[in-house]
Amino acid sequence: MSAFRAEHCERSHAFTVALPAAEAFRLFEPEGERRWAEGWDPRYLHPADGRATRGMVFTTAHGNEDTIWTMVRHDPAAGLVEYVRTTPGSRTGRVLVQCTPLDAGRTRVNVVYAMTGLTEKGNAQVRELDEPRYREFIDSWSRAIAKGL
């Protein structure tokens, strides 16, 4: 038996975007993320045209890591999009984004990451995603979106 024990964390943090909910939601689909996430360049496997839909599969390469993404929930009317992401040899998890209208021009965006290490390297990255670092990570999304708009 292996002595490896996977570490797991779940974090949640929210911010406000100065957009109506339907517009804000599009920022968290793969193509919409190009508008604000530096280096974000998804390569679409299914559907090949990059249309956001449940079951969509794409890959990204960032920071010397290749990650496989599967969109497991896509509900624009409810403001929900959820992905399962796996970085082979490191970690796997899910990312849930929920957009809730605050008023006609502002949206609350709640981002939940649940990550599990697949290796000791992945466990180290899970441990690094402590509460203060996670808040800073998600707050950086808020700043990048504001700058990109």
CA 144 to chain centre: 14
Report the predicted TM-score, pTM, of the whole model to 2 decimal places.
Answer: 0.94
Residue pLDDT, tens place only, 65-115: 999 999 999 999 999 999 999 999 999 999 999 999 999 999 999 999 999
Q: Does residue 2 fall inside a structural domain?
A: no
Q: Does residue 1 fall inside a structural domain?
A: no
Q: Does residue 89 fall inside a structural domain?
A: yes
Whether residue 2 has pLDDT greater than 80: no
Three-state SS string over the chain comes to CCCCCCCEEEEEEEEEECCCHHHHHHCCCHHHHCCCCCCCCCEEEECCCCCCCCCCEEEEEECCEEEEEEEEEEEHHHCEEEEEEEECCCEEEEEEEEEEEEECCEEEEEEEEEEEECCHHHHHHHHHCCHHHHHHHHHHHHHHHHHHC
Q: Say what the pLDDT of residue 148 is.
A: 84
Q: Does residue 20 fall inside a structural domain?
A: yes
Q: Say what the pLDDT of residue 1 is.
A: 58
- 47: containing domain: 8-148
* Res. 62 pLDDT band, cuts 50 70 90: confident
Count of domains observed in the chain: 1
Q: Say what the pLDDT of residue 106 is.
A: 97
Q: Does residue 3 fall inside a structural domain?
A: no
